[in-house]
Amino acid sequence: MKNEKNTIMDRSDILEEYKWDLESMYVDDEAWEKDFENVKKLVEEISKYKGKTVESSNTLLEVLKLRDNLYRTISNVLVYARMRLDEDSRNGTYQALTDRATNLYVLVNGETSFIVPEILSLEEKDLESFLGKEEGLRVYTHYLEDVLRGKKHILSKSEEALLAQIGEMSNTPDTVFSMLSNADMKFPFIKDEEGNNVEITHGNFIPFMESNDRRVRKEAFEAVYSTYEKFKNTFASTLNGCVKKNMFYSKARKYNSSLEAALDENNIPTSVYDNLINSVHKNLDSMYKYMDIRKRALKLDELHMYDLYTPIVKDVDIKVSYDEAQKIIRKGLEPLGEGYIGILDEGFNSRWIDVYENRGKRSGAYSSGTYDSKPFVLLNYHETLDNVFTIAHEMGHSIHSYYTKKTQPYVYGSYSIFLAEIASTTNESLLIDYMLKNVKNENEKLYLLNHYLEQFRTTVYRQTMFAEFEKIIHEYAENGGALTADYLSSTYKKLNEKYYGSNMVIDDEIAFEWARIPHFYYNFYVFQYATGFSSAASLSQQILKEGKEAVDRYIGFLKSGDSDYPINVLKKAGVDMTVSQPIDKALELFSQLVDEMDKLI
């Protein structure tokens, strides 16, 4: 099935085989309601343990098992409602279900907030005694050790309960941003390459930016960012609210900064964040050279921001149907072995994926699900090379989740955000290696090389720029600065000037791009795209060069979940992110690829 170029489909027009199978979670909304009520009952049950959590080793085990059951159920309730809403954000039924589920989740957090403080009331020797007496508790050893690690940041029972109660309010900035950007905002029409009037959407914006027609790129660029400029003060307010929320929680929990608070959740030192920014700053000359190559290759007097996404090789027009994309990805990931490919096929054939854009659908792509569900993927597929890599990327997330959930108990059945982008990007690295080795001519090789360099630009350099923007605005606010639209826009434009160099025209409209980026509401998330890409570059090379031994280590990594701290999990796979070497090596590879393209252009 294929979307007509000038039409945004209604969801009812899309075949079932191209929609994710959310019925496998709940056959209907009535079944969802039953679990919703079940959560309330579980909340009442767990509330009876307040003040009794550590009366005995057996009681502690009962509480932890009941809490696991409670969170497994509320996760199903919340994730289902949100994914249904993402199918069409205009749907009032699922707006209501999502709101109810979110409120219930806040209630669950509040009613379980007594558990950690009560565990922390134990002396370490008493906890060790509990672990010795109760065999069933031993599965929770790492979890309990991690709780003790954060002891100085855990508050009293009443304070923890109060923090839990403001959870719903604290989500408001992200919710308002999402509704404004995805549901309420409308972009203007532009004329496409054939002169047809086409409405700009989140889904077709990047394909337009990849257009060979510079007029189309420029009009799409200006249409999108002039629209965001009109709402700049509202977006500044939502982002300011998010930063203030992060500041509030970091101060309440006695951290030195919002950054420290965000990274401590996964036991990541802030030096990892700073090392990334510093390493990229030392390697900006390679980016400047790449921009000069792009300017020369496109035969432009001036290189503008709207020229960044169009392929350098103009006479190669790679359009890939969804079915063909699956075949290419399957071949590219063969080095991961038959077991991995079998899971990939299951995902393709069992409706893990919601493929096409429709009216009201959430933009972009993601992998989601729960411990008990399929590891679903949301796409807005257009027939571009970039979208082929998006499928490989999101399936990397989902297969990581699949292995983890099949191997680990619920308490360790997810993985930290520090590790979250590694499996996805390893898939991309293996896929680009396969495609470069199987190109039919030099032009296609140049096209793919350009694409690989774009992965470096967008995943290492661009995400590091995002990370630096987050760090700057948080530090500015923490020092008493006001995050006005003018300050945010000025700061963002200066960073673009720094990262792209003086030989590129930094158009005024790019100053408002910060208003478009949802990841700025994810609390220092984006730096992990860059560290993940660097880790993936190392792992993919190990897989290609060492074969089965490296694959076995890698599959072990995918199975590890939260059973150890992320730095340790990654070390076992063969990458040490406590030093700058993986970042430096990745940027060294980027420099080599830039030099290679320089010779070929």
DSSP string, 477-545: HHTT----HHHHHHHHHHHHHHHH-TTEE--GGGGGGGGG-GGGGSSS-THHHHHHHHHHHHHHHHHHH
- Beta strand 353-354 with 366-368 is unpaired
- Cβ distance 465 to 496 under 8 Å? yes
SS3 call for 368: strand
- Cβ distance 510 to 305 under 8 Å? yes
Strand partners, 505: 304
- Cβ distance 460 to 534 under 8 Å? yes
Distance CA 408, CA 553 (A): 16
Nearest residue to 534 (alpha-carbon basis) of 496, 503, 501, 575: 575
- Amino acid (one-letter) located at 174: D
Distance CA 242, CA 598 (A): 42
Assess whether 302 carries a catalytic annotation: no
Distance CA 358, CA 48 (A): 46
SS3 call for 298: coil
Element (H, E) at 293: helix 284-297
CA 119 to centroid of chain Cα atoms? 32
Distance CA 56, CA 569 (A): 32
DSSP code, position 304: E
Distance CA 389, CA 375 (A): 18
Quote the tokens at residue 598: 């320089």
**R_g of the chain computed on alpha carbons:** 24
- Amino acid (one-letter) located at 105: Y
- Beta strand 353-354 with 376-378 is parallel
- Cβ distance 117 to 51 under 8 Å? no
What residues contact residue 173 under an 8 Å CB cut-off, 6+ apart? 238, 239, 241, 242, 245, 521
From the candidates 229, 394, 454, 513, which is the catalytic residue? 394
Catalytically active residues are 394
